[in-house]
Structure 1
Amino acid sequence: MAKPIMIQGTMSNAGKSVLTGGLLRVLAQDGVKAAPFKSQNMALNSYITEDGLEMGRAQVMQAEAAGIEPIAAMNPILLKPTNDTGSQVIINGKVEGTMSAMEYYRRKTEYIPVIMEAYEKLSKQYDIIVVEGAGSPAEINLKTNDIVNMGLAKMIDAPVLLTGDIDRGGVFAQIVGTIVLLEEEERRRIKGTIINKFRGDKEILRPGLDMLVERTHVPVCGVVPYFYLDIDDEDSLSERFAGKQGNGPIDIAVIRFPRISNFTDLAALECREEVSLRYISQSADFGEPDLVILPGTKSTIADLLWMRQNGLEGKILRHASAGGLVFGICGGYQMLGAEVHDPDGVEAGAGKCVRGMELLPARTVFEPEKHRTQITGHFGIVQGAFAELTDVPFAGYEIHMGKTECMGETEPLLHLDSGTADGMQHGNVYGCYIHGIFDQAEVVTAVLKTILKRKGLDADQVKNIDRKQYKEEQYDKLADIIRENLDMKMVYEIIERGGK
């Protein structure tokens, strides 16, 4: 059976996901068979596995860092918020239903056998399991029947590394306060602490680190600097939403929906030097983009109405009528059509019908059953500005509740290897259901060349960048940072000694 080690944080977004990925990369480089595990993840960023099951993107990133195929057992419970008080609950990759926060809180202990079965499945296949906690173990209101932090650590007998985010201030109070609020048995499980996201000279921290050890009687495993790597983020706390990504001549505006999902679809564009990509949530920030992207969303109807009310829809319609480029993915694709129907109340009230943006001759009807599958295929005969995409191959995945049908004369955008079609095009407006549509180098190259030519700029310098190779390089850089700044000898000793 595998030996576990668990990374918990003093708060959400303390860097647990990336530290877990980095540790897994180090273990893989050292020849250790290791896998990630997170019993319960709350995120709108999800992925479809090879066998058609849904899991959180953070554990996909961690599996990639470990050099292994992601499977749903790495994230047996995924909560996808539908509003401020409820979530769609996904168990072992399949939708269990939609629950209020209180209902899930009452029922969560029912899922302990699910969690343990998933963990034991991984434990039989790997030597070390790197487990990620959620939020903080000292959230008093959530500690009863905990299944994701110290409660899980006890179930699997895992030693814990506690990480605090110094960039957000008060890191010593974070760590000491968290440990003080734990029960004695829980405190004994913490075998090391990590100061994360530090900017500056580490020697300045020395008095604080000494006092931290004195107050907690727990050694400091390391101080990890603030760094910039292109690693998939877990949720909407992502710093990429805070400002413009890149300074290239191509201006891409992405609509930041309140329930935006799978924003990792844009990562392949963000990393290109030709691109300046920005997330916008108000009409005043629209500007004059070269391309507008409507990404995925967990709440198509609500986010469409939000966009209609705040003026962004009007901006996009005027942009499209002037020949501007628009691309919709999944929920964004559904919005571009003429109508969105919800006969069974999947998102809104049963029988609700909402007018779409009417940029594509399409009608979407929501269905109770979620469509989940990996997809390969190629672009069809693409009309309009993106004609260079014709016959370009792609791979990705679908994850949606609706079915979209054409209401007029238009060529499908994509031809799938399954023999069916997906997506639509009309003028310079395009849409499809495929997440990861930009991950293929040929797709991004064609898109960037098209826009540069439209701007009268040199498009011949655009090169294909192998997305898989690029991500491998990022993971290796992450491992270098972990090795340099964590005491890996101490980490290995903690793993070997276990949680007792």
Structure 2
Amino acid sequence: MIQGTTSDAGKSTLVAALGRYLARRGVSVAPFKPQNMTLSTSLTTDGGEIARVTAMQAAACRVTPHTDMNPILLKPRSDRGSDVIVRGHLQRHMAARDYQQFKLQALDAAVAAWEALRRRHDVVLVEGAGSPAEINLRAGDLANMGFAERVDCPVWLVADIDRGGVFAHLTGTLALLSASEQARVSGLVINRFRGDPALLQSGVDWLQQYSGKPVTGVLPYLHGLILEPEDSLGHCPTPTTEQAVRVVVPSLPRMAQHADLEPLRRHPQVALTLLRHADAWPGADLVLIPPSADPLGDARWLADAGWRPQLLRHLRYGGVLLGLGQGFALLGEQLSDSHGRTEAGLGLLALRSRLQAPQPQPAAAYWGGQAVAATDFGDVQCQGAALARPLLAGTSGAAAGAISDDGQVFGSALHGVLGQPAVLAQLLSRCGVAAQRVDHAARQETSLERLADWIDEHLDTAALMRTLRG
């Protein structure tokens, strides 16, 4: 099991790296995360839903994503409650306090999924969540040491030296663990190191002596990796060409499915800006209204933040406006939910949308003659005159989307449509750019191979194999 001293210490990347390293050597290996909280998810071939980053790790391991790989998935709908998905399927919405009571059942489900994976694979790489030293979350823990203790698996602890304080992070985390948990840690990994490793050696020697634990790797900082994001877009790279499409994305408080934007963010001809306040408008060729985990709340936020007047001005100047997922519903006149609550949308398409419990399934369609393989979460029902002019062919309802008479405003409730290089190039051409076709999946595959080389060169692979055999 890979645990981290903090969030974003590099757990997800290290699991993907180890998975590809082992898969290249013919080992049957699978990723596993007992509990994850994220709004970026992916469908599996067995008809369920897991965290998108876990699906990326499955690709690293060269196996098909399965719901057993992420048995407990929490999709936050507010600061105090989440949809709880168990082994791929929605259990129910729970307040945070109710989930604490549910944890024992959740741990049993996670263990059952882990045992199923163990029967199918030689190695299961378990990823923790956050930090194992969160004192207030120790009771009933199934994300870190609680799970490791239950299934009796060894733990490697990873820390990010780039943010500073790596020795305090590692020794402090160990100090807050119980005696049995401390004994379970069999390796320490220092991640994102910049510079000459020889200059770090005295610190590594001290750390090993002080903790009694071996440092099994000092992993250098890797630039330019193209991997699925955990649950945010992070830093947006500078375009590598002078002719760039300026893309603005309103930074919705409950933005979801960040991976929908990843092909745009990574495209060498795109300058993407996440914008919180409309009055900070930098100018744009394209505005993308992203998916939302709370469309009603984000509709209010768009209104309060003054986005509608700015979008109307953007359209008067010839700009393009795209809505994806629940962002498509936000383009319409009104949104409502099953509880009878309603909110006004942006009013840019003749569309009324009703929100319902998701029923995710794969979707196939065509955008401008280009095949689209995407996901329909089935959580948006639409009606209105705008649907008479669908954006996509080969599908129906909200999934088919709509396009305005002037061709400036369009969208679809589907997720993942920009993942096809030809579709993304077609979108950028609408903004007046002769777009390059960039294969995001191929670039991710190249990154996974780089990660395996990274492990081969900088990790104590002999210690890794001893740990696995043990």
TM-score tier, shorter chain, comes to over 0.9
Counterpart selection for 2:362 from 371, 374, 379: 374
Q: Determine the structure 2 residue equivalent to 1:401.
A: 379
Q: Determine the structure 1 residue equivalent to 2:410.
A: 430
Alpha-carbon spacing, 1:471–1:433, altered in 2? closer, same or farther (3 Å): same
Q: Determine the structure 2 residue equivalent to 1:227.
A: 222
Distance 1:11 1:419 in 2: 43
Counterpart selection for 2:277 from 274, 282, 290: 282
Identity of aligned residues (%): 36
- 1:274-328 deviation per Cα after TM superposition (whole angstroms, max 9, x unaligned): 1111211112332211111111110111112112112233212221243310110
Structure 1 unaligned residues grouped into runs of 5+: 1-5, 346-350, 380-389, 454-458
Q: Is the 8 A contact 1:48 1:399 kept in 2?
A: no
- 1:198-223 deviation per Cα after TM superposition (whole angstroms, max 9, x unaligned): 22222221111111101110000111
Q: Determine the structure 2 residue equivalent to 1:392.
A: 370
- 1:321-350 deviation per Cα after TM superposition (whole angstroms, max 9, x unaligned): 4331011001110100111012x23xxxxx
> Please, what TM-score do these two structures have when normalized by structure 1?
0.89
Alpha-carbon spacing, 1:7–1:361, altered in 2? closer, same or farther (3 Å): same
Q: Which amino acid aligns with 1:355?
A: A
Aligned residues: 465
1:111 offset after TM fit, Å?
Answer: 1.7
Q: Determine the structure 1 residue equivalent to 2:162.
A: 167
Distance 1:88 1:123 in 2: 27
Distance 2:84 2:24 in 1: 35
1:417 offset after TM fit, Å?
Answer: 6.0
Q: Which amino acid aligns with 2:440?
A: R
Q: Is the 8 A contact 1:363 1:407 kept in 2?
A: no
Q: Determine the structure 1 residue equivalent to 2:253.
A: 258
**2:322 is aligned with 1:334:** no
Alpha-carbon spacing, 1:210–1:235, altered in 2? closer, same or farther (3 Å): same
Q: Determine the structure 2 residue equivalent to 1:384.
A: none
**2:341 is aligned with 1:352:** yes
Query: 3-state DSSP class of the match of 2:125?
Result: strand
Structure 2 unaligned residues grouped into runs of 5+: none
Q: Determine the structure 2 residue equivalent to 1:480.
A: 453
Q: Determine the structure 2 residue equivalent to 1:71.
A: 66
Q: Determine the structure 1 residue equivalent to 2:420.
A: 440
Q: Is the 8 A contact 1:246 1:270 kept in 2?
A: no
Q: Determine the structure 2 residue equivalent to 1:414.
A: 392
1:245 offset after TM fit, Å?
Answer: 4.7
Q: Which amino acid aligns with 1:333?
A: F
Distance 1:263 1:432 in 2: 16
Q: How does 1:480-499 map to 2 (within 5 A)?
A: 480-497=453-470
Q: How does 1:82-161 map to 2 (within 5 A)?
A: 82-161=77-156
Distance 1:194 1:26 in 2: 16
Distance 1:420 1:196 in 2: 44
Distance 1:258 1:420 in 2: 23
Distance 2:239 2:230 in 1: 20
Distance 2:205 2:228 in 1: 34
Alpha-carbon spacing, 1:420–1:325, altered in 2? closer, same or farther (3 Å): closer
| More deviation, 320-329/134-143 | 320-329
Q: Is the 8 A contact 2:376 2:415 kept in 1?
A: yes
- 1:131-159 deviation per Cα after TM superposition (whole angstroms, max 9, x unaligned): 00011111111111211111111222211
Alpha-carbon spacing, 1:210–1:288, altered in 2? closer, same or farther (3 Å): same
Query: 3-state DSSP class of the match of 1:235?
Result: coil
Query: 3-state DSSP class of the match of 1:327?
Result: strand
Alpha-carbon spacing, 1:19–1:421, altered in 2? closer, same or farther (3 Å): closer
Distance 1:329 1:420 in 2: 10
Distance 2:303 2:221 in 1: 38
1:244 offset after TM fit, Å?
Answer: 5.3
Q: Determine the structure 2 residue equivalent to 1:365.
A: 354
Q: Which amino acid aligns with 1:266?
A: L
Q: Which has the higher strand share?
A: 1
Q: How does 1:176-191 map to 2 (within 5 A)?
A: 176-191=171-186
> Please, what TM-score do these two structures have when normalized by structure 2?
0.95
Distance 2:398 2:140 in 1: 47
Query: 3-state DSSP class of the match of 1:297?
Result: coil
Alpha-carbon spacing, 1:308–1:247, altered in 2? closer, same or farther (3 Å): farther
Q: Which amino acid aligns with 2:394?
A: L
Distance 2:103 2:22 in 1: 32
Query: 3-state DSSP class of the match of 1:296?
Result: coil
Distance 1:360 1:452 in 2: 23
Distance 1:244 1:306 in 2: 27
Q: Name segments (4+ residues, structure 1) moved above 4 Å.
A: 417-421
- 1:82-102 deviation per Cα after TM superposition (whole angstroms, max 9, x unaligned): 111211111111111111111
Query: 3-state DSSP class of the match of 2:376?
Result: strand
Tell me which of the two structures has the higher relative contact order, counting C-alpha pairs closer than 8 angstroms and 6 or more residues apart. 1
Q: Is the 8 A contact 2:382 2:398 kept in 1?
A: no
1:419 offset after TM fit, Å?
Answer: 11
- 1:349-379 deviation per Cα after TM superposition (whole angstroms, max 9, x unaligned): xx22211111111110122x31201111112
Alpha-carbon spacing, 1:338–1:231, altered in 2? closer, same or farther (3 Å): same
Q: Determine the structure 1 residue equivalent to 2:308.
A: 313
1:56 offset after TM fit, Å?
Answer: 0.6
Alpha-carbon spacing, 1:167–1:400, altered in 2? closer, same or farther (3 Å): farther
Query: 3-state DSSP class of the match of 2:348?
Result: coil
1:10 offset after TM fit, Å?
Answer: 0.5
Q: Which amino acid aligns with 1:374?
A: P
Q: Which amino acid aligns with 2:228?
A: D
Q: Which amino acid aligns with 1:358?
A: G
Distance 1:69 1:409 in 2: 35
1:113 offset after TM fit, Å?
Answer: 2.2
Query: 3-state DSSP class of the match of 2:249?
Result: strand
| More deviation, 131-140/99-108 | 99-108
- 1:30-88 deviation per Cα after TM superposition (whole angstroms, max 9, x unaligned): 11110000010011111122343111111011001111111111001111111112111
1:450 offset after TM fit, Å?
Answer: 3.0
- 1:373-419 deviation per Cα after TM superposition (whole angstroms, max 9, x unaligned): 1111112xxxxxxxxxx211111112252211233573111123689
Q: Determine the structure 1 residue equivalent to 2:239.
A: 246
